[in-house]
Chains A and B, each alone.
Chain A
């Protein structure tokens, strides 16, 4: 299978519905993985590629919203489209508040289902891109030595070499060398650029708290 084609994870306890929807999705060009329960999904799915989850609300064992909560706790990034036989307002509101991409009722036409899936996939894509940048930045910061990281944290807060040397209890000359290595490793030419990286990675507030 092509790794670029997004995978739609269908979780529904009704076999004939699973068959029907997976046929439609496959015919529409998606990769489909079906699960008859939330447990099976948690056990057997690979969730890192592009895709989304089509989730039933009422199921034997773990229900749809319960799975949603579980995934949220464990850092799931797949958007969830709920698909239910009978939608009541309370369930709908709770699911959307908890971050559901959409809430659809069966029977669902492809005119509604496919755009909804597309939106979910787009969002997944966007998220993934964002994550890719951050991952890259994390990799750069990860290459810093502990001493360089300390220097980096103080540099992005606008401290002068003299202050840094004083704080770390070393010479200004040594700090200069560390600072040069940091700029080199992070592939930035200015302190402003380095500060932007720290900002995106959320290091500024973190370091600030720890420094107090």
Chain B
């Protein structure tokens, strides 16, 4: 029991200690804002300040935010009423610290310091040194000021863009801003001989926006504070600078780094975070009980120049134009930096693909060459084949040719005899001469047919040709041979034009080889009625079929497929070239060749060639 009481007492004691500690570190801070919570650039400062305070201060801070609404439009009037309002607001529970943010707030606090919580310590910050009077400040007040060097800002513009000859100055029209307009006019005087200055402060915002959109070449825009425009309209947040940036046709400059990333090019700028940090640490020292008057903070000037990489790129400002030690933020990431490995991969794939395509193209070319080579070989072989055919047929051609030659000679000699007689029979001589002429033509035809066989084809060009013409040519060529072998060659089937695209000599050669083959086959048999029938017909799928049928002994069924093989011959004297050449030629033109035996006896050879549809009928 005693032990339990002991424990409870210990817990109670610990809790009291904790509460005491907590109470000791709980501070109430009154933030006196110049325009409102969200007016740039003070909004950025305020959030930085709170952040720094919470980082550096061990206890908890309770904030009271009071915007100095009067600063927006007017100065002086109503301020004492506002001061009284504040006094009564914090009469019961005075704040531990008053922080005045920005020039207007600082000035208000200075003027009303005696009435406003004289015993509460105050910190004036985010205010230019020039705006702090100091005469009304007590020992209870500390200042963390900054220095705005307007001249340095203009120097920066002229250094980064040396061709600039016009600077449009965009500053608002609130009392505080009017101060800065006056200040700027004063400072910028020394640039009057270098640049023209265009003051837009007495214009409503919409007009300013239009003006910055239509600036002459070599212009720059200097953007100062912009809380309230000439029409009395307040501009909260970063809206004003964003819109100016969106509309502007010239580079935008300013003096506070809070605007960096909103569209300003950059340069030496007031370091918001640094001021906030300084202010926060001063605030903590005051909260910790240090005497404010003992805390001396030097005014914070421009930080080393900082630039927005995107704007540098946009306005084509080379990095070597920037002052030494400049920092570049928002550097645009190049596609390569962002996607280097993907790009590398794509590049590799393209490279491999390219190599593959090249290899395939080379392969294709090689194949093409090989094909053309084999085509030429085929022509050579086909020509040799024809020459051989011509040799074999020369006997029958000679025989056939000697018929008209013999008749001519006999007729001539007869005419000589008749002319030697006493009574010349003119009518008979005329008859004789007519016969001589006819026989001469006949001899010429025979020679033509034979020469067609020996003609060497120059190229491989194909043309439209009528298969029936080829058949008729072949019949004319083989006529002497057929006669010699006592074979009748007949013609059957389609009489219409059967157009195919091929080389005429090649097609003729195929038919010729088939017919000669049939003739050769029949020479072994003793059939009295030797016949070869050549038939042409249209078959399905737009093909033309040509058949060469004989009534010879036929082909042994086990050799039907092999007859087209190279050097396969059923003949004792054949070398087995004719049919394989025929097959090679047909392959070239997308045709097909095969052999069968006729049911009625004899062999039949067939081939197909694609019909040219455009002229099918």
Contacts and interface: CB of A to CB of B under 8 A. Distances in A.
Interface in A57-73: 58, 60-61
Given A16-B403, A20-B435, A27-B418, A86 B396 contact: yes
A126 B197 CA distance: 151
B463 interface: no
A109 B409 contact: yes
Given A27-B414, A27-B417, A85 B406 contact: yes
A195 to B, nearest CB: 52
13 contacts: A14-B403, A16-B403, A16-B442, A17-B406, A17-B410, A23-B428, A24-B414, A24-B417, A61-B486, A85-B402, A85-B406, A108-B406, A109-B409
Interface string B386-428: 0000000001101111111111111101100110000000001
B398 A110 contact: no
B128 interface: no
Nearest to A83: B406
A10 to B, nearest CB: 11
Contacts of B466: none
Contacts of B483: 58, 60
Q: 6 tightest CB-CB pairs across the interface, nearest first?
A: A106-B406, A85-B399, A20-B407, A20-B410, A85-B402, A86-B399
A107 B406 contact: yes
A48 interface: no
A88 interface: yes
Given A17-B403, A19-B407, 18 more contacts: A14-B407, A16-B403, A16-B404, A16-B438, A20-B407, A20-B409, A20-B410, A20-B439, A23-B428, A24-B411, A60-B486, A83-B406, A85-B400, A85-B401, A86-B399, A106-B406, A108-B409, A110-B413
Interface in A78-129: 83-86, 88, 105-110
Most chain A beta carbons < 10 A, residue from B395, B403, B409, B418 = B403
Contacts of A106: 402-403, 405-406
A19 B410 CA distance: 9
A86 B408 contact: no
Contact of B409 (A14, A85, A107): A107
A59 to B, nearest CB: 8
A179 B213 CA distance: 168
A17 B408 CA distance: 8
B432 A107 contact: no
A107 B442 CA distance: 15
A28 interface: yes
B484 interface: yes
Residues of B contacting A: mostly: helix
B305 to A, nearest CB: 113
B407 A17 contact: yes
Most chain B beta carbons < 10 A, residue from A20, A58, A84 = A20
A58 B485 CA distance: 9
Nearest to B410: A20
Contacts of A108: 406, 409-410
A60 B398 CA distance: 17
Contacts of A85: 398-403, 406
Interface of A: 14, 16-17, 19-21, 23-24, 27-28, 58, 60-61, 83-86, 88, 105-110
Contacts of B396: 86
Nearest to A106: B406
A140 B417 CA distance: 48
Interface in B360-407: 395-396, 398-407
Contacts of A107: 402, 405-410
Nearest to B401: A85
Interface in B245-291: none
A23 B406 contact: no
Given A60-B486, A85-B398, A105-B402, A20 B417 contact: no
B532 to A, nearest CB: 15
Contacts of A60: 483, 486
Contacts of B395: 86, 88
Contacts of A24: 410-411, 413-414, 417
A77 to B, nearest CB: 27
Nearest to B418: A27
Interface string B485-513: 01000000000000000000000000000
Contacts of B401: 85
A27 B424 CA distance: 12
Most chain A beta carbons < 10 A, residue from B406, B417, B483 = B406
Nearest to B394: A86
Contacts of A83: 406
Contacts of A61: 486
A16 B407 contact: yes
Given A24-B414, A110-B413, A19 B435 contact: yes
A16 B404 CA distance: 7
B206 to A, nearest CB: 115
Most chain A beta carbons < 10 A, residue from B395, B399, B438 = B399
A23 B400 CA distance: 21
Nearest to A28: B417
A14 B400 CA distance: 9
Nearest to B398: A86
Contacts of A84: 399
A14 B446 CA distance: 14
Interface in B451-485: 483-484
Contacts of A17: 403-404, 406-407, 410
Contact of A23 (B399, B403, B414, B484): B414
